[in-house]
Structure 1
Amino acid sequence: ACLGISNPTGLAAIKQLVPPSQLTQATAQNQIRYFAATMGGPPVGGTLFGVARAFPFLSAAVGFLVSTILLLFIRKPMKVEQLAPGEKRNTAEGFRILARQPVLRLLIVWIMGSNMAFTHSGVFLALIATAESRGASASFTGMLLSIAGVGGLVGSLIAGPVIKRVAPAKLFLTAAWIGPVAAVLLANVSGLVPLGVIVACVFLRGPITSALFLAYLAAMVPDKAQGRVLGAVMFMSMIAAPVGVFAIGTIFDQAGPVWVFTVMAVVSG
């Protein structure tokens, strides 16, 4: 619930903190922290949990406190547009703006399908269950998750240069094919380390396509509607994640990892 409020606000603030020419680069760099945490979180959390069960939650609380304090150091004033006489704003306006833009509408539908199939929690759940079914130790499973998380970190580091050099249509088309191909490989590859490497390749595309999509959104949506449209985007992309996690767990219980990855291939396509 808190992410649904803070994430759209943070993304909308980027447009006011950097010049337009640096918007795509700034959006890509903003994702480094998320994917760095995705890579470092599992082993660090597991280690802290081994020391005391409260430590992972205590460290998360300290992290949120530090990030809140850092916000106080932003000195550039944020513009707040006032409502015109008779003008009304509501949450539904963000969804209507998305629906009126064919490019954004198509991309958000694809993003929802991709998030449903390859949400971090769902993929990690599938990797953990697969590793356990193949007799892997807890420490090895943590390493496997870290390998998978490296892809997102690398993607966030190279997103800016890649977007500058590759046409948007080619980027989105390549990203769309990576999901189904990776899922088919996951269903057929033996061993565990290759699974982590394949998932890393899937996560690699995330920061690049996200930065490009948000740049499109920033350019096509008026400033005064940025927050509402970003809220709609966050809602639609995030609502797909718990559906995906539930589906992955259910399918794994009923049919095993091969069917999990097969369904991921279909949904992500």
Structure 2
Amino acid sequence: MASLFRERDFALLWSGQSVSELGSSVTYVALPLVAVVALHARAFEVSVVTAASSIAWLIVGLPAGVWVDRLPRRPLLIGVDAGRALLMGTVPVAWWLHVLSLAQLVVVAFAVGLLSVFFDVGYPAYLPSVVPRDRLVEGNGALAASESAANIVGPGLGGVLVQLVGAPIALLADAASFVVSAVSLAAMRAGGGPPGPGERGRSRSAAGAGTGRALQRPPRQRLSRDIASGIRYVRAHPLPRTVAVAGALGNFVLGGYQAVIFVFLARQVGLSAGPIGVLLALSSCGGLLGALLAGPLSRRVGDARLMWAAPSVMAVFGLLVTLTGTGPRLAWYVAGALPMSLGVAAFNVCVRAAMQVAAPDAMLGRVTATARLLSRGATPVGALVAGALAGAIEPRATLVILLLLLVALPVWLLLSPVGRVREVAQLAPAPTERAREPVG
């Protein structure tokens, strides 16, 4: 079987997203450090910045799914990248003019997060226009591997950039990466529009194979009816329903973890930006390993089993992070965070492929948005709760509480229909059912 990288469109998509993920990994370090170092923000204020970047899911998550199903997906993704580049560029400009404030940082984080909702819904819905259905796990694995590789290089690069030019200027790397992503998408041929007569056949032909999925564009309904049909679809089918709840449980914990970990490492452990970036880069090696192993492991043991085994690894090893201290005790962070990132990457690869298979093309945006509303919407809630808790007790104790809660994720998956099958395809609707879009 020929490599997906020999397909022009996939190679362009992969290269553009790899650069974009590298820029986002720099921002992962630089944005909270702008608040901590440049603006001297308190723990709860840092958590507000973190929450602002993901709270948009609670506001436009469901309508975004409808618009992704209505609009040509590739032009939408290009516009989103251009908007995010402009917004991210305002932070270093304001810092250079000595007018940067915490309020602006929150607004920029929220606005970028708002646009990212459309990208995060449209991107998985666009991928089946580029990659044949039977190679979606391979395509998602390759994209996840580059994302994990970016997470290895990006935090270290971010830490170095913060020390060399300051946290606000370091954000220019992310702005430039959005431009590269937009140019790569513009050079692609797969249209990725809402399924219409003949379009799906053209998209599949460009990707190399057809799948016989829905070719008829459904009549456009009111926004509320389109949203309701996506919600009903997720509620009616065990796979997207299970994934949505699992995502909410996991992202509540991980949202709180991300909000507190920088304060923990910078103030309680006493590390500067450079060592923090190095630790994050080392732990992210697990993400690369998890993304590369997801495909072979899913074929060997079954992707349904991998879905609950991966968060089990996260729950077992996560608590080791809380033992982190100075000197040799820094090794505890890598020992805990590396397996955590491995579990997250493997779980995400399986989940993305499962969601792309479980819904008809005409509804893929709405189904993705409905499931991610719960999962992504839990991220800011976890960040705010963890930030308030860290202010009331201490960051280390807050991390202990959060990581103990992570045990609920594999337990939920084992008790759900996913825990009773080997392959998630066993939970997917029958082809005749997939072809019928619910009517609002």
Q: TM-score range by the shorter chain?
A: 0.7 to 0.9
Is 2:320–2:335's contact at 8 Å kept on the other side of the alignment? no
Is 2:321–2:333's contact at 8 Å kept on the other side of the alignment? yes
> Which residue of structure 1 aligns with residue 161 of structure 2?
48
Letter in 2 for 1:225: M
1:35 aligns with 2:148: yes
1:1-269 matches, within 5 Å, as 1-53=114-166, 54-82=168-196, 83-85=217-219, 87-88=221-222, 90-119=226-255, 122-123=257-258, 125-126=260-261, 128-130=263-265, 132-187=267-322, 191-268=329-406, 269=408
Rounded Cα–Cα distance in structure 2 between residues aligned with 1:94 and 1:250:
34
Rounded Cα–Cα distance in structure 2 between residues aligned with 1:232 and 1:81:
19
| Deviation per residue, 1:174-233 (Å, 9 max, x gap) | 123223322333345662222223111111112222221222222221110001111223
TM-score by length of 1: 0.88
How far apart are 1:124 and its partner, in Å? 6.8
How far apart are 1:63 and its partner, in Å? 0.9
Q: Secondary structure at the match of 1:105?
A: helix
TM-score by length of 2: 0.56
Is 2:286–2:338's contact at 8 Å kept on the other side of the alignment? yes
Task: Tell me: CA distance 1:123–1:58, structure 2 relative to 1, closer, same or farther (3 Å).
Answer: closer
Letter in 2 for 1:113: L
| Deviation per residue, 1:71-90 (Å, 9 max, x gap) | 11211343533544575552
Q: Percent identity over the alignment?
A: 24
RCO higher in structure (CA 8 A, sep ≥6): 1
Count of aligned residue pairs for this structure pair: 268
Q: Which protein shows a greater Rg? A: 2
Letter in 2 for 1:61: A
| Deviation per residue, 1:127-171 (Å, 9 max, x gap) | 551453233343222211212222212212222222211223321
Rounded Cα–Cα distance in structure 1 between residues aligned with 2:300 and 2:259:
32
Q: Give ranges in structure 2 of 5+ residues lacking alignment.
A: 1-113, 197-216, 409-440
Rounded Cα–Cα distance in structure 2 between residues aligned with 1:164 and 1:33:
21
Task: Tell me: CA distance 1:29–1:124, structure 2 relative to 1, closer, same or farther (3 Å).
Answer: farther
Rounded Cα–Cα distance in structure 2 between residues aligned with 1:118 and 1:125:
10
Task: Tell me: CA distance 1:238–1:118, structure 2 relative to 1, closer, same or farther (3 Å).
Answer: same
Task: Tell me: CA distance 1:251–1:86, structure 2 relative to 1, closer, same or farther (3 Å).
Answer: closer
Rounded Cα–Cα distance in structure 1 between residues aligned with 2:170 and 2:236:
44
> Which residue of structure 1 aligns with residue 105 of structure 2?
none
Rounded Cα–Cα distance in structure 2 between residues aligned with 1:61 and 1:17:
26
